[in-house]
Amino acid sequence: MIRPPTPPTPRVFLWGLLVLQALSFALHFYGLSRFNTLVFDETAYARFGHNYLNGLTVFDVHPPLGKLLVGAGMWFGDLMGYAGEPTNLLSGAERAPWAYRWVAALFGSTLAVLLAGITWELFHRWRMALLSGVLALLCGIFLVEARYALINVFMVTFGLFGHWLWLRGLSARTATRRHLLWLFSGLSLGCCVSVKWSGLSFLGVVWAITLLGWLGQSRATTPTRFSGMRWLALLLYFVVAPTLLYVAQWTPHLLVSGKTLSQEHSEMLRYHQSVKDDKSEHPYCSRWTTWPFMLRPISLVYETQAAPVGASTSGAAQAPDPAPATVRAVHEIINPLLAWCACIAVLWVTAAFAFKWERLALSDRPEPEQLRDVWTLGYVLLGFLSAWLPWAMVGRCQFLYLYMPSLAFALIASAWTVDYLLAHPLRAMRWTGYCVVLGVAGSFLFFLPIYLGWPISQAAFYARMWLVSWI
């Protein structure tokens, strides 16, 4: 089978990835123990990780892998020790907060580079690829989720890594390399589902684009790379391998619980069906239709502390002026300018896909570039919609973090749109692209105090609550 040549990776792109990874690592690990307590769902996941370490019973509403990773981080922390560090007993034993957070931070620190890698594999344009990685770093919600013992970042990282390996396999020049990449891709996607069932959307994209590739091949309208996987490879690597891994990762849990796999799944399903669909269930519930527009964030931390009152400098006793309170808050909020620009970008990509598809349908002999554009843009839209639209059928309390898989593909769409603007012959369009990048970066810096939990005044905090629904 003849495969299209893969262009060499530019050195500027590799250096850009290195800088991006360094910045991401610093942001994710700086002040990781800032809040010496359990934050949001750490009350469950950190304790569950401790229970797995100690052979104690766990009832969770998600598969075990995410908590096993948190537990592995705590095992390493216990091994290293916490001499001279602030600790707490909230996870089940005396530990510093970084012990149950560092594995999530490590996973999250790779997301920007992973997204850049996927964009490179799709379009082979280094500026667009770096833009997607920069936007992932500046989007905010990935950073906040990864700095605490929360499991959504595991699901997204495994899903994106699986897609990157799959795309690499599609372009591999040798059969051995191709099958190894697809095997590890399937295992990574199996890990994705082993964190949360909603990770199935990542697997679904591989199945769907492969099946569509086969249909397209019968009409001679698909590039070789999207139709090159045979049905046996799809079955082995993207059905059997993920299923075996999913079953295997339940072993530590089943040994403790004494239940069968079917019993565990029945209990999990009953729980999800019993959760109500209103704010009486949780004050930060939000509907799936609101996520792209960033209408309802999640408050993870909100602490106030009165500032110390200064002594009077005059000889007469005076009543001191009340000092403003200091706020330390962490909001799980998508960088609003980026969220709103991403909505426009997804619509732009949809229009571009429809236009290119129409031209392809009318062409007797489509050019390879036409084929590539239609299939790559279709892949991005499929990834976005497959992770977002299924929530329309779920009648339970939902949260903004469920949008994270779709957001990853929306960021690729945003990078494609900005790159289009930056390459446009009209100066006004190019300046629009520059303004978008600078605006998103400025917005990220503005919201950084409530991403990292820095102390700010109450006035500064409320200056960042642009919508009433954000409070």
Percent of the chain with pLDDT over 90: 79
Return the residue matching tokens 């964190």. 195
Q: How confident is the model over 318-341, as pLDDT tens digits? A: 445 455 689 999 999 999 999 999
Q: What local confidence, expressed as pLDDT, does residue 318 receive?
A: 47
Q: What angle do CA 471, 293, 328 make, to 5 degrees?
A: 30
Q: What local confidence, expressed as pLDDT, does residue 314 receive?
A: 40
pLDDT-flagged residues of the chain (< 70):
1-5, 218-224, 278-280, 307-324
In one letter, which amino acid is 135?
Answer: L
441: its two tokens:
């970066």
Element (H, E) at 231: helix 231-235
Q: How far apart are CA 324 and CA 117, in angstroms?
A: 46
Q: What local confidence, expressed as pLDDT, does residue 218 receive?
A: 65
* Residues 109/28, Cβ–Cβ less than 8 Å: yes
Indicate the Cα dihedral angle 169, 162, 374, 427, nearest 10°: -110
Measured in whole angstroms, the distance separating CA 27 from the mean position of its chain's CA atoms is 15
Q: How far apart are CA 468 and CA 471, in angstroms?
A: 6
* Residues 119/415, Cβ–Cβ less than 8 Å: yes
Q: Where are the alpha helices (DSSP H) in 331-468?
A: 336-362, 368-388, 404-422, 427-452, 458-463
Q: What local confidence, expressed as pLDDT, does residue 91 receive?
A: 96
Element (H, E) at 326: strand 325-332
SS3 187: helix
Closest to 155 measured CA to CA, from 170, 168, 145: 145
Phi–psi pair at 48, nearest 5 degrees: -65, -40
